[in-house]
Amino acid sequence: MTNPCIIVQSNMEVLLNVDSELHHEARDAIAPFTEIVKSPEHFHTYSISHLSLWNAASTGLKASDVLERLGKYSSFEIPATVVTEITEYMKRYGILRLVLKDGNLILESDSEALFVEICQRKEIQDYIESVISKRAAVVSPLVRGKLKILLTELGFPVQDLAGYVQGEPLEIELRQTLANSDERFAIRDYQKDAAQIFYASGSEKGGSGVVVLPCGSGKTIIGMAVMALVKTHTLILTPSVTAARQWIRELLQKTNLTEEQVKEYSGDIKQIGPVTVATYQILTQRKKTEKNSQLKDKEFTNFSLFESQKWGLMIYDEVHLLPAPVFRFSADMQATRRLGLTATLVREDHKETEVFSLIGPKKFDIPWRILESQGWIAQAKCHEIRTSMNTELRISYAVAPLRDKISIAGCNPEKFNVVKNLLEKHSKENDRILIIGQYIEQLETLAKEINTPLITGKTPNKERDKIYDSFRRGDIRILMVSKVGNFAIDLPDASVLIQISGTFGSRQEEAQRLGRVLRPKKDGRPAMFYSIVTKDSREQEFAMNRQLFLVEQGYGYEVISGV
């Protein structure tokens, strides 16, 4: 082809030439089956993993599709080892299946040789109740999730076609007009598509999986659309009380559900209804017993919530934050429909395999830049502002242990002047501004200097809600939040985010923070994202990793030295 822009390497990495005029087109073509690794100036590096190939296969892509896309943009012939690896691993998805026959859970395969080999493995034999044939065996429903994880780890992901229990019925419909308002409400085409693809007309091929869409694109609405299709008692798990109450507001505003039907289960309120919105934190709360004057973990106190109703659907909001203990219980919930919602499948604990196995494969995603071009999310401009350390701080940094260098750089006092300059600039433009950071002492000091409200983990939920409402109304135009502001805050008019410090090299955090300002603005103004980092420090190194996710979505960073 003319102007080739990728190089496929034998180690399953793909180099993308960002100076090519086709690099945007090529990036979107390879995104469904690759993961970005690094992004220096001229060539970005993507990797092809077994999990990325299986996620692509679950959406209907075939090995021939992947190879065609690579061949279309490649400067050289694709290495034979890569062709073999892609072909071999993509055909593995679905070669093992879980089905329900005559009331029994059956593990089956089209390949007799593979099935015999799998069944002979000692770790698999513990899960098999009886062998039916050389291509099928009965397994216990209680090990459905654990078996899926194990087989995925062995390199043979299971396509789960065993179907789901019918939860208690609940008549749920989306409104055409918002509650207590004359404002019309209509679901967007991509939201409808995502819900329909997940549901798959109620067949065994639908009902479990993950929808990946940017913050501000209406993932909550997709969840409600799925609820309207399934029409059953639903348990919704969220990362915070703020997120839980946001879900409740949306449900009451955009569906026909009533306050008697939608309940909150959190540290503040413990009520259960046909639709219950709970927090991950309350589910992972442990009972403590006093022994030898020390508190010792004994058991989780609220896991009974899973069994309190005959749930027909579970929605995992921000599924990339799903705590490990909830994973453990999710292994026992495989007969329940499961919908994961997230802006990124990247997990800092590298448990992507558990998400794939227990919640389900990726069912639907759209590149951020496509939604931006269609006006569904705001155009975003990203800036990294690098500021120096003064002589005294530089000496302290130089002699500090490695583990302390990141916090010293993150709390660089020179950042305050940068923030103040940005506030002066954007206050003139009448922007609503979020300032977010990692270190509480740093935030408290800055909040006093600029006289603005600060929300941290210690801020009571009632006070948080009051401050957020004031920001939404425009009573306050500058709001500072700690990392509690990373997720699920609905602040549609926020147009500027200033990141003064972050969590090491967390890619998911970078994506979530940008998402706080991506809702489209009424006046069409772009979202401005500023990340302030200390020059020539560990923080600058971590910042390069943090940016990887946004680079993968097509955003570029303008690097500025001071403001």
Query: Which tokens hold the place of 2?
Result: 């003319």
Query: In three state form, how does the secondary structure of 308-376 look?
Result: CCCCCEEEEECHHHCCHHHHHHHCCCCCCEEEEEECCCCCCCCCHHHHHHHHCCEEEECCHHHHHHCCC
In this predicted structure, the answer to whether residue 298 has a pLDDT above a threshold of 80 is: no
Kindly tell me the burial class for residue 199, based on how many C-beta atoms sit within 10 Å of its own C-beta (0-12, 13-18, 19 or more): buried
pLDDT at residue 242 in the model: 85
Query: Which tokens hold the place of 232?
Result: 């059953």
Q: What separation in angstroms does the CA of 21 have from each of 4, 16, 27?
A: 9, 11, 11
Closest CA to 47 of 70, 77, 15: 15
Looking at residue 177, what DSSP letter applies? B
pLDDT at residue 290 in the model: 46
* DSSP SS3 for 90: helix
Alpha-carbon distance of 243 to 267, in angstroms, equals 13
pLDDT tens across 88-146, in order? 999 999 899 999 998 899 999 989 999 999 988 988 988 999 999 999 999 998 899 99
Global pTM? 0.83
Closest CA to 378 of 431, 320, 418, 321: 431
Alpha-carbon distance of 552 to 562, in angstroms, equals 26
Long-range contacts of 182-187 (CB under 8 A, 24+ apart): 185/254, 187/221, 187/225
Closest CA to 133 of 158, 101, 155, 106: 106
In this predicted structure, the answer to whether residue 371 has a pLDDT above a threshold of 80 is: yes
Q: Residue 178: which residues within 8 A CB-CB, separation 6 or more?
A: 184, 185, 253, 254
pLDDT at residue 291 in the model: 46
Q: Are 509 and 503 in contact (CB under 8 A)?
A: yes
Sign of the torsion angle spanned by Cα atoms 467, 471, 475, 480? positive
Alpha-carbon distance of 316 to 338, in angstroms, equals 8
In this predicted structure, the answer to whether residue 299 has a pLDDT above a threshold of 70 is: no
Average pLDDT, the chain: 87
Highest-scoring range by mean pLDDT, 299-303, 340-344, 350-354 = 340-344
Q: What separation in angstroms does the CA of 338 have from each of 140, 163, 245, 281, 400?
A: 20, 11, 21, 19, 47
Alpha-carbon distance of 186 to 174, in angstroms, equals 9
Query: Could you tell me which residue, 489 or 367, shows the higher pLDDT?
Result: 367
In this predicted structure, the answer to whether residue 297 has a pLDDT above a threshold of 70 is: no
pLDDT at residue 201 in the model: 85
- Same fold? 189-365, 372-561: yes
pLDDT tens across 13-50, in order? 999 998 888 988 898 899 889 987 777 768 888 999 99
Q: Are 393 and 408 in contact (CB under 8 A)?
A: yes
pLDDT tens across 383-428, in order? 999 999 999 999 999 999 988 998 999 999 999 999 999 999 998 8
The distance of Cα 526 from the centroid of its chain, to the nearest Å, equals 23
pLDDT at residue 462 in the model: 86
Closest CA to 456 of 448, 445, 444, 473: 444
Q: What separation in angstroms does the CA of 476 have from each of 49, 116, 490, 526, 545?
A: 46, 66, 15, 20, 33
Q: What separation in angstroms does the CA of 493 have from each of 372, 521, 526?
A: 16, 6, 11
pLDDT tens across 203-243, in order? 878 889 999 888 788 999 999 999 999 999 999 999 888 88
In this predicted structure, the answer to whether residue 523 has a pLDDT above a threshold of 90 is: no
In this predicted structure, the answer to whether residue 300 has a pLDDT above a threshold of 80 is: no
CATH class for the domain made up of 372-561: alpha beta
Query: Could you tell me which residue, 398 or 305, shows the higher pLDDT?
Result: 398
* DSSP SS3 for 299: strand
Query: Domain ranges in the chain?
Result: 6-92, 96-160, 189-365, 372-561
Give the CA angle between residues 338, 344, 350 to the nearest 5°: 85
Query: Which tokens hold the place of 333?
Result: 């919930």
Q: Residue 55: which residues within 8 A CB-CB, separation 6 or more?
A: 32, 33, 345, 356, 361, 362
Question: Does CATH number 3.40.50.300 belong to domain 189-365?
Answer: yes
pLDDT band of residue 287 (cuts 50, 70, 90) is low
Sheet holding 557-561, edge to edge: 454-455, 478-481, 432-436, 494-499, 527-534, 380-387, 557-561
